[in-house]
Structure 1
Amino acid sequence: MSSQAFLRKKWERVFYTFFDINRNRKIDWNDFEITFEKIKDLRGEDSAEYRIAKEAMGMVWNGLLQNTKGLDIMAQIPADSEITIEEWVTIWKSYNPKHMHMWQWEYLKYMFFLLDKTGDKFIDNEEYRDVMQIYGMSLQDADKAFKMFAVNEKGRRIELIDYGQFVKTWNEYFTSTDERAPGNFLFGPW
């Protein structure tokens, strides 16, 4: 598989698994509403996770529209706005971990916060499993993925992922063309 095809495959996984929740092959506001309901069911309506999810994902949505459509995020967003897979791929082709778009940074922080269920500033396998189930990943696949990406710089398994390790793994997922890189498993096994 070519390096560009591999990157596209990873970007598409995030699009279809974590954003196109209603499975209509595009990202629209309804996808976000469904995600909010899933988080509310998992963590509760009064939880910080639910409140932060709504706030952070609102920023992600606005940023996506600004990036893909050039929409002014301070203006009224058309209700029928949507992001196609091609627009999504175009965004990630220009991804630079040192110069992320604000919405990309918000999404990264949001995902760490969502995965860190206990709030101890670490993600363990159980927390990872709980959240990945929201998005349809099996417990077996979640366990397998965690074992693949939860490694230190020497390739040894670690039990807890801190924010710095998460950022490194995140960036590896979105940029690495090495099919064996641990970060490639952040959003599930291949």
Structure 2
Amino acid sequence: MVSDFRKKKLFHVFNAFFDTNGSGNIDKKDFELAAEKISQNRGWKAGDAKFKETQDALLKIWEGLQSRADADNDGEVSFNEWVAMWDEFAKNPSAALEWQNLYCKFIFELEDASNDGAIDSDEFSSVYVSFGLNKKESVEAFKKMSKGKASVSWAEFQGLWNEYFTSEDQNAAGNFIFGKTSF
């Protein structure tokens, strides 16, 4: 059984980052729109290599998500299907599905705009502002996530990622990796 706290965290990711067209479900169109939005925010055009790389990565993530979470095979992932899938992950995070690992890496690389192997507060908050979150809250979330350090490495991010999807501790640093300070 997934707690209300974890459901709130899962809803934040579902709603803010996956259901980009606001339909109440996740489908392939959401990933196409996300690729366009991310590319536009980074200044990449449809023919650019980075646009294609982003689009390919997101569509591969969609295919993995759909194959695992779309229990009723309707071409969409409902919030209940989303929760059930992450509940399975929480039972054994070391056995993450390929798409979950791809998504983790994708988010880290998206946030690491300087490509230096670490995320800083400006990089972090600019991504979440582009998804409609409040800049001040995103900066505060970074401080909590990084435990006051100037940056977060890939290795640290992976641990924080697992913590986000599994932890019941409302003060766990991983709860802040998606730019929000409270649930």
1:12-91 aligned within 5 A? 12-43=11-42, 44-45=44-45, 46=48, 48=50, 50-69=51-70, 81-91=75-85
Q: How far 1:70 sits from its partner (Å)? A: 6.5
Q: Quick one: structure 1 residues 166 and 3, their matched pair in 2 at CA, closer, same or farther if it must change by over 3 Å?
A: same
Alignment root-mean-square deviation, CA: 1.9
Where 1:94 maps in the other structure, the secondary structure is: helix
Distance 2:142 2:157 in 1: 12
**What pairs with 1:126-165 in structure 2 (closer than 5 Å)?**
126-151=122-147, 157-165=148-156
CA contact 1:3–1:177 (8 Å) conserved in 2: no
2:171 is the alignment partner of 1:180:
yes
* Counterpart AA for 1:168: G
- 1:113 paired with 2:109, answer yes
SS at match of 1:111: helix
The code of the aligned residue for 1:117 comes to A
Please give the TM-score of this superposition, normalised by the length of structure 1: 0.87
- Tell me the distance in 1 between the aligned counterparts of 2:117 and 2:134: 24
Output the CA distance in 2 between the equivalents of 1:70 and 1:55.
24
On the 8 A contact 2:2/2:87 being kept in 1, the answer is no
Match of 1:170 in 2: 161
Aligned-residue offset at 1:3: 6.9
Query: 1:64-83 CA distances to partner (integer Å, 9 max, x unpaired)?
Result: 11112369xxxxxx9x7211
Give the % identical residues: 35
Deviations 1:71-120 (A, max 9, x none): 9xxxxxx9x72110000000000113210011101100100110000111
Give the Cα–Cα distance (whole angstroms) in 2 for the partners of residues 47 and 66 of structure 1.
27
Q: What residue in structure 2 maps to residue 189 of structure 1?
A: 181
What letter is aligned with 1:66?
Answer: S
TM-score, normalised on structure 2?
Answer: 0.90
Q: How many Å separate the matches in 2 of 1:150 and 1:134?
A: 20
The amino acid across from 1:53 in the alignment is T
Q: Determine the C-alpha separation between the residues in 2 that align with 1:163 and 1:91.
A: 24
Provide the residue aligned with 1:75 in structure 2. Answer: none
| Unpaired stretches in structure 2, ≥5 consecutive residues | none
Structure 1 residue runs of 4 or more that deviate by more than 4 Å after TM superposition: none
Task: Return the match for 1:102 from 87, 98, 105.
Answer: 98
- Letter of the aligned partner of 1:150 in structure 2? S
Q: How many residues align?
A: 176
Q: For residues 17-57 of structure 1, what are the alpha-carbon distances to aligned partners after superposition, in whole Å with 9 as ceiling and x for unaligned? A: 11001111100122112111111212212253x33321211
Gaps in structure 1 of 5+ consecutive residues: 72-77, 152-156
Structure 1 residues 116 and 33: alpha-carbon distance in aligned structure 2, compared to 1, 3 A threshold: same
